[in-house]
């Protein structure tokens, strides 16, 4: 994405962090909208055992929760930003139409919203520690080509308890689980019609990223979201003692550059979330695709945009 396109990004931190927003205004639903099948909520033990002590540990929850989500491409992370504790879910939902006609777009949005509602209920009730550990669940639902059809969130207090949802509870839940009002239909054809010979797809790039950041804990991951502004890659990684200087997070930034330069569709914006070992956010940065693909790493470093903490004037 060009600098001009980056300038179109919303100023608000909570809007910039699309996966950390709770959107306003529910979408209207159509009676002919396809429905999402029920998602079962398995029984779970009452506590998480850590070092002989019974307590809730977010990192220990991630693997169990992720295993219970019935889709093959899933990213599940947690973090704490501005004193709010988030559980952040990204899912590829293959039943969505990745090339909908104009009259099918709203059905895609509604179907993704219903899945977001069901998955929020699954996560909130999958383990007793979830409601203790997190205050908000944010969700990004994409199709098989990584086009975004839902980006939003819900507060834990708005999610019904219990393993099953009644029709009334589901209707109420969908009223609370709302997508960003800024989310529009994804761009139709991101990237060139004929990719360069050295191009890589998301699967190849993701494998390279996970290799670069290995060994990594469960709260490190990467995912692709294509929206109306183009291709966005989100990266979250951690350090047990993170700093807010370039020396502390620069190795991770350069590793991201190494693996994402070949990606097709080309990255328009790279969003980076750098946390400590407990998920507390230390730095949030963004870089546009031109800087990411520049062969000089110093050019990327010079063009990093620090979003959080807000730079002092």
22 and 167 both lie in a single domain? yes
Q: Residue holding tokens 């909520």? A: 41
Better-scored residue on pLDDT, 194 or 112: 112
175 and 208 both lie in a single domain? no
79 and 173 both lie in a single domain? yes
Residues facing residue 222 across a β-bridge:
235
Residue range of the domain that includes 124: 15-26+47-179
Residues facing residue 270 across a β-bridge:
233, 287
Q: What CATH number should be reported for the domain holding residue 264?
A: 3.10.310
Residues 246-266: tens digit of each pLDDT = 678 899 999 999 999 999 999
Q: Six-digit token pair at 25?
A: 């205004």
150 and 102 both lie in a single domain? yes
Predicted confidence band at 54 (pLDDT cuts at 50, 70, 90)?
very low
CB 250 within 8 Å of CB 301: yes
171 and 60 both lie in a single domain? yes
Predicted confidence band at 277 (pLDDT cuts at 50, 70, 90)?
confident
Predicted confidence band at 312 (pLDDT cuts at 50, 70, 90)?
low
- What is the DSSP secondary-structure string of 191-219? S-SS--TT-B-HHHHHHHHHHHT-S--TT
Domain end position, chosen among 145, 179, 213: 179
The b-or-e profile of 96-121 (16+ CB within 10 A means b, else e) is bbeebeeeeebbbbbbbbbbbbbbbb
pTM for this entry: 0.83
Better-scored residue on pLDDT, 162 or 72: 72
pLDDT at 22 over 80: no
What was the pLDDT predicted at 194? 72
Rounded percentage of the chain residues whose pLDDT exceeds 70: 78
pLDDT at 42 over 50: no
What was the pLDDT predicted at 61? 94
133 and 247 both lie in a single domain? no
Strands (DSSP E) found in the chain? 49-50, 53-54, 74-81, 84-92, 136-142, 148-155, 178-179, 221-227, 230-238, 269-275, 281-288, 305-308
Contacts of 310 (CB under 8 A, 6+ apart): 13
Predicted confidence band at 306 (pLDDT cuts at 50, 70, 90)?
very high
Question: Using a CB cutoff of 8 Å and minimum separation of 24, what contacts does 292-295 make?
Answer: 292/256, 292/257, 292/260, 292/261, 292/267, 293/261, 293/266, 293/267
What was the pLDDT predicted at 168? 93
Better-scored residue on pLDDT, 62 or 20: 62
């Amino acid at each position: 994405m060009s600098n001009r396109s980056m300038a179109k990004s919303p100023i608000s931190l909570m809007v910039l962090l699309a996966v950390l927003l709770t959107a306003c205004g529910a979408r209207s639903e159509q009676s002919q909208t396809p429905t999402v099948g029920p998602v079962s909520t398995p029984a779970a033990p009452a506590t998480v055992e850590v070092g002989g002590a019974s307590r809730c540990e977010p990192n220990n929850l991630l693997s169990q929760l992720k295993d219970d989500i019935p889709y093959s491409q899933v990213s599940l992370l947690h973090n704490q930003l501005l004193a709010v504790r988030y559980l952040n879910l990204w899912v590829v939902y293959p039943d969505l139409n990745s090339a909908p006609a104009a009259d099918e777009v709203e059905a895609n949005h509604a179907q993704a919203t219903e899945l977001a509602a069901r998955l929020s209920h699954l996560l909130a009730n999958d383990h007793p520690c979830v409601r203790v550990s997190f205050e908000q669940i944010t969700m990004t639902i994409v199709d098989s080509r990584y086009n975004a059809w839902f980006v939003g969130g819900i507060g834990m207090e708005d999610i019904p308890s219990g393993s099953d949802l009644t029709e009334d509870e589901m209707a109420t839940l969908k009223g609370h689980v709302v997508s960003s009002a800024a989310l529009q239909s994804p761009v139709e054809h991101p990237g060139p019609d004929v990719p360069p010979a050295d191009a890589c797809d998301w699967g190849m790039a993701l494998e390279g990223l996970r290799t670069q950041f290995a060994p990594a804990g469960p709260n490190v991951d990467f995912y692709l979201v294509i929206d109306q502004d183009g291709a966005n890659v989100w990266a979250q990684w951690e350090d047990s003692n993170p700093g807010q200087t370039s020396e502390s997070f620069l190795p991770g930034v350069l590793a991201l550059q190494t693996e994402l330069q070949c990606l097709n569709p080309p990255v328009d914006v790279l969003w980076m979330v750098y946390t400590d070992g407990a998920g507390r956010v230390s730095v949030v940065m963004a870089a546009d695709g031109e800087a990411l693909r520049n062969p000089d790493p110093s050019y990327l470093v010079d063009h990093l945009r620090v979003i959080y903490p807000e730079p002092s004037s």
